Amino acid sequence: MTTITDEYMMQMLPTVKQYSIAILKAGPKKNEPGVEKIIWEHGRRNFSLRADGLLCIVCPVADGSEVCGVGIFNTTTEELKTIMDEDPGVKAGVFVYEIHPCKSFPGDSLPK
């Protein structure tokens, strides 16, 4: 494991930026007939949010739990609420969500 000095930490901490996390969970209509089309349009919207630079990291979750996905957004929690309220899956009751503020280092990414 790489050794990190106090000086390095003091240099890096001021570079963190505010982001928002959305935790997507199964909604009351998750198992109703026809949800596949709604979920497809939810995915299309995620692609658009990624292309626009708002959805930095999106992680669908398919482990059988109530959690359906996690997204890290380059926006405030207030703006994210507006974004999530307009999601086709949320509007249809297929998904519900939680929003949390968070901080991270700009440029962080998932490894290839």
Taking CA atoms, 103 is separated from 11, 25, 46, in Å, by 16, 22, 21
- Mean of pLDDT values over 80-106: 97
For residue 54, with 0-12 CB atoms within 10 Å meaning exposed, 13-18 middle and 19 or more buried, which class applies? middle
User: What's the pLDDT band for 12 if we cut at 50, 70, 90?
Assistant: very high
Superfamily for domain range 17-104: Dimeric alpha+beta barrel (3.30.70.1060)
Strand order in the sheet with 55-60: 55-60, 67-73, 17-26, 95-104
Q: pLDDT tens across 21-47, in order?
A: 999 999 999 999 999 999 999 999 999
- Mean of pLDDT values over 45-63: 97
Q: Which of 74, 103, 89, 85 is nearest to 26 (CA)?
A: 89
Task: Give the three-class secondary structure for 54.
Answer: coil
Give alpha helix (H) positions in the chain: 6-12, 35-51, 77-85, 88-91
Residue ranges covered by each domain of the chain = 17-104
pTM for this prediction: 0.91
Encoded amino acid at 20, one letter: S
